[in-house]
Amino acid sequence: MCEWYRRDYGCGHHLIGAAAWCPAYGQTHRRCTVRIAHTEFTWDECARCVSKKTQVPVPWEHMIDRSKAPMSLKWLRGNV
């Protein structure tokens, strides 16, 4: 059985990762069922929240015409 862990961040997000792979994974490359062995908490923010805060808007953003952007880009930017 693979060992899984869950890390809870202060921002409210969480991460589930593998602490150790079982011998079967080395042969088949198929993951076992996720059963979290331990949970840890950190007051830090996750990498996604940190990157959102460090993004500095460019001064020329108001000059960019995004009306012709594909629907997928509008959805990603929240302009739907």
Q: What is the pLDDT of residue 80?
A: 47
Q: pLDDT by residue (tens digit) across 27-71? A: 898 888 999 999 999 998 888 888 887 777 778 877 877 777 666
pTM over 0.85: no
- DSSP character at residue 18: E
Residues 20-52, buried b or exposed e (16+ Cβ, 10 A)? eeeeeeeeeeeeeeeeeeeeeeeeebbeeeeee
51 vs 7: CA distance, rounded Å: 18
Q: Is the confidence at residue 77, as pLDDT, over 60? A: no
Q: What is the pLDDT of residue 55?
A: 74
- Residue scoring higher pLDDT (75 or 62): 62
CA angle 64–70–71, rounded 5-degree value: 115
Maximum Cα–Cα distance for the chain, whole Å?
56
Say which range, 10-14, 55-59, 75-79, has the weakest mean pLDDT: 75-79
Across the chain, the runs of DSSP E, i.e. the strands, are 3-9, 14-20, 36-42
